[in-house]
Amino acid sequence: MNDTQGVHLQIGQVAARTQLSIRTVRHYDDVGLVTPSARSTGGFRLYTDADVDRLLVIRRMKPLGFTLAEMKELLEALDVLDNKKASAAERKAAARCLRDYRAKTDDSADRLRQQLVYAEELASLLIDRAGTEVGAKRGRSAHVNTD
């Protein structure tokens, strides 16, 4: 994950950049997933690009059904791989963790693709049925007896 030294973003900027609500960003801080890199003199949370990258990982994991514990584990593995001082054993374990999460991600993506197919089938059915109903109403109004 990258980091721009000396550049800090306020929580509103981070929320806009990540498309998360301010409340959600605060929640991820409260549960220890993404702790802001700094605080302003007034106590406001200040985030770096690396913090934003972590939030983006979480944002991508959330709709796939990953738990907070799984998110934390993956973020820790990414941290190990970014740490030049990590041992070979730590790096190997982190890489294995990423492979496991890749498999889980693929499974979740397959489930979402199937759900999308179901949603598209339903949308098509609703359009067809709504069109049939509109046609039936037109047909009935054309046969109105004016006697």
pLDDT digits (tens, 9 = 90+) for 56-86: 999 999 999 999 999 999 999 999 999 999 9
Number of domains in the chain: 2
103: its two tokens: 């498999």
Cα angle vertex 96, ends 99, 56, to 5°? 55
Domain containing 120 equals 67-147
Looking at residue 111, its pLDDT comes to 95
Final residue of a structural domain among 14, 29, 64: 64
Looking at residue 9, its pLDDT comes to 95
Strand pairing of 9-10 and 45-47?
antiparallel
Cβ-based neighbours of 13, under 8 Å, separated by 6 or more? 47
Residues 139 and 76 in one domain: yes
CATH number at residue 17: 1.10.1660.10
- The b/e string for 84-105 (b: 16+ C-beta within 10 A; e otherwise) is eeeeeeeeeebeebbeebeebb
Residues 92 and 128 in one domain: yes
Looking at residue 140, its pLDDT comes to 60
Stretches in the chain below the pLDDT threshold 70: 1-6, 134-147
Residues 88 and 131 in one domain: yes
Please report, rounded to a whole number, the percentage of residues in the chain having pLDDT higher than 90.
80
Residues 114 and 135 in one domain: yes
Looking at residue 26, its pLDDT comes to 95
Q: How many Cβ atoms sit within 10 Å of the Cβ of residue 31?
A: 12
- Return d(Cα 65, Cα 31) in angstroms, integer: 17
Tell me if the pTM is above 0.75: yes
Contact yes or no for 80/90 (Cβ under 8 A): yes
